């Protein structure tokens, strides 16, 4: 079956359930060619994507055009991480980030900053003095403040929301023993939010992490954000990365986490959505970027193409998730995919280098996959009004 036929067949089969209940607004065909996911979900939430120079410098014209057609919010896949934007103590390199922000402004997009305080993609010097000795608490706080004020300040009023702290939690919900934590102590998180708020009082501030659909870590995020709110820190939303597998976590677990976060009075961003179909290379379920595993043919089963059966499973999984997102649309501000097409995904290189991964809605030729149609269907389904 060709992709086109598969998509049509899948759309028809998925429609059996949805379209029999459809109202007159649920027209399946007739979507104008220039409309994208941003239009499909306009009344629910923003739809976004993480981009790299390939897109924001328009080095790949077709790929950049797809971003403009489909998405109304962007995240920087790498260019605002510390190691890129502030590689040496006295040197910031804003050239790539400036181009990222300019692309978003040219296209009227909601521009996200990612990320200010994280334990990965941060140079070792950040935590050391000129002699290579660990910094004192005060010195590291001063360095953090300088970084946040410089970076957030540069894009004040233009970058609308920041992932202030990324991945501060262990899987059991306790605070991760990062260098930030060891040197400053647990209040490094509150301090980072305070510095960001001072630098741009109008910017939305987020706490972002992976595996937040697992109960212990979800509860840790609830405790952490509650304590920030209790201190008067304006956390706008929790970002749930949503680096998911085909069957885990369950859609019900995703639903529970959204509701737990919304109950705190904050919004929820689905910030880095992708669905990894490939065989697990490690026992770890998360998105720890430092994980590495060796290549092996059994870990890369679909180098020549994804079987139709898997394409259908991916479509159904995406559809289940988008049903949960739509049911919680009042709590969700945006759903952002981590990469444009399958060829762009970080999952081709992590945690095993050189694999052929299929985690997104667009294939390597930038065509819409069955999962794209499946997701679009959800917007047309009648909503159950609570
Ligand atoms: C990833 C990028 O996609 C890769 O290009 C980079 O090599 C490593 O980082 N969680 C995050 C993102 O918050 O910043 C990570 O992005 C993926 C996991």
Q: Tens digits of per-residue pLDDT, 370-381?
A: 999 999 999 999
Q: Whose CA is nearest to atom 15 of ligand 1?
A: 289
* Length of the chain in terms of residues written: 386
| Number of Cβ atoms within 10 Å of the Cβ of 1 | 11
* Residue 271 near ligand 1, beta carbon < 6 Å: no
Q: What angle do CA 245, 240, 254 make, to 5 degrees?
A: 60
pLDDT tens digit sequence for 79-108 = 999 999 999 999 999 999 999 999 999 999
Q: Calculate how far, in angstroms, residue 315's C-alpha sits from the geometric centre of ligand 1.
A: 24
Q: Whose CA is nearest to atom 8 of ligand 1?
A: 289
* Residue 346 near ligand 1, beta carbon < 6 Å: yes
Q: Whose CA is nearest to atom 7 of ligand 1?
A: 346
pLDDT at 160: 98
Output the DSSP codes for 290-311: T------GGG-TTTT---HHHH
Please give the share of the chain, as a percent, with pLDDT higher than 70: 91
* Residue 166 near ligand 1, beta carbon < 6 Å: yes
Q: How far is CA 234 from CA 67, 172, 197, 306, in A?
A: 31, 25, 8, 44
Q: Does 351 sit behind a cis peptide bond, omega within 30 degrees of 0 on the bond before it?
A: yes
* Residue 63 near ligand 1, beta carbon < 6 Å: no
* Residue 345 near ligand 1, beta carbon < 6 Å: no
pLDDT tens digit sequence for 299-350 = 999 999 999 999 999 999 999 999 999 999 999 999 999 999 999 999 999 9
E strands, the chain, in order: 46-51, 73-76, 110-117, 161-166, 204-209, 237-240, 243-245, 267-276, 332-337
Residue range 123-136: mean pLDDT, rounded:
97
Q: Whose CA is nearest to atom 5 of ligand 1?
A: 346
- Burial readout 87-105 (b: 16 or more C-beta within 10 A, e: otherwise): eeeeebebebbeebbebbe
* Residue 240 near ligand 1, beta carbon < 6 Å: no
The gap from C-alpha 364 to its chain's centroid, in whole angstroms, comes to: 20
Q: Calculate how far, in angstroms, residue 127's C-alpha sits from the geometric centre of ligand 1.
A: 21
Q: Calculate how far, in angstroms, residue 25's C-alpha sits from the geometric centre of ligand 1.
A: 39
Residue range 351-377: mean pLDDT, rounded:
97
Residue range 120-135: mean pLDDT, rounded:
97
| pLDDT greater than 80 at residue 5 | no
Q: Calculate how far, in angstroms, residue 77's C-alpha sits from the geometric centre of ligand 1.
A: 6
Residues marked as catalytic: 167, 272
Cβ-in-10-Å burial (0-12, 13-18, 19+) of 86 comes to buried
pLDDT tens digit sequence for 54-71 = 999 999 999 999 999 999
pLDDT grade, residue 385 (50/70/90)? low
| Prediction pTM value | 0.92
Which residues does 91 contact at the CB level (< 8 Å), separation at least 6?
Answer: none
* Residue 83 near ligand 1, beta carbon < 6 Å: no
Q: Calculate how far, in angstroms, residue 78's C-alpha sits from the geometric centre of ligand 1.
A: 7
pLDDT tens digit sequence for 280-310 = 988 877 889 988 888 888 999 999 999 999 9
Output the DSSP codes for 211-231: -TTSHHHHHHHHHHHHHHHHT
Token representation of residue 348: 């081709």
Closest ligand 1 atom to residue 52 Cα is: 5
Alpha-carbon span 12 to 80, nearest angstrom? 42
Q: How far is CA 5 from CA 1, 207, 250, in A?
A: 6, 42, 29
């Amino acid at each position: 079956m060709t992709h086109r036929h598969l998509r049509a067949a899948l759309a028809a089969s998925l429609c059996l359930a949805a379209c029999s209940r459809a109202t007159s607004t649920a027209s399946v065909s007739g979507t104008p060619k220039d409309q994208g996911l941003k239009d499909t979900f306009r009344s629910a939430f923003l739809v976004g994507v993480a981009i790299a120079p390939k897109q924001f410098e328009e080095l790949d014209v077709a790929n950049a055009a797809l971003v403009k057609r489909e998405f109304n919010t962007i995240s920087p896949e790498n260019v605002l991480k510390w190691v890129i934007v502030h590689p040496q103590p006295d040197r910031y390199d804003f050239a790539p980030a400036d181009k990222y922000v300019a692309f978003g402004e040219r296209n009227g997009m909601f521009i996200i900053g990612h990320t200010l305080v994280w334990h990965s993609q941060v140079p070792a010097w950040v935590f050391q003095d000129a002699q290579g000795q660990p910094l004192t608490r005060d010195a590291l706080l001063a360095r953090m403040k300088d970084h946040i004020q410089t970076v957030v300040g540069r894009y004040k009023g233009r970058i609308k929301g920041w992932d202030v702290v990324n991945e501060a939690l262990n899987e059991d919900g306790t605070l991760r023993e990062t260098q930030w934590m060891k040197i400053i102590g647990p209040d490094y998180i509150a301090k980072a939010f305070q510095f960001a708020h001072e630098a741009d009082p109008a910017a939305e501030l987020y706490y972002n992490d992976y595996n937040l659909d697992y109960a212990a870590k979800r509860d840790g995020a609830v405790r952490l954000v509650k304590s920030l709110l209790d201190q008067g820190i304006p956390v706008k939303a929790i970002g749930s990365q949503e680096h998911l597998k085909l069957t885990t976590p369950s859609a019900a677990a995703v639903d529970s986490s959204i509701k737990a976060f919304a109950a705190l009075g904050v919004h929820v961003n689905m910030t880095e959505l992708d669905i990894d179909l490939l065989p697990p290379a490690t026992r770890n379920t998360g998105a720890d970027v430092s994980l590495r595993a060796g290549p092996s043919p059994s870990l890369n089963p679909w180098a020549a193409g994804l079987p139709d059966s898997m394409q259908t499973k991916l479509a159904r999984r995406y559809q289940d998730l988008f049903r949960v997102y739509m049911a919680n649309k009042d709590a969700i501000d945006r759903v952002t995919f981590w990469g444009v097409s399958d060829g762009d995904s970080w999952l081709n290189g992590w945690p095993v280098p050189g694999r052929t991964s299929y985690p997104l809605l667009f294939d390597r030729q930038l065509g819409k996959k069955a999962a794209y149609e499946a997701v679009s269907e959800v917007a047309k389904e009648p909503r159950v009004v609570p």
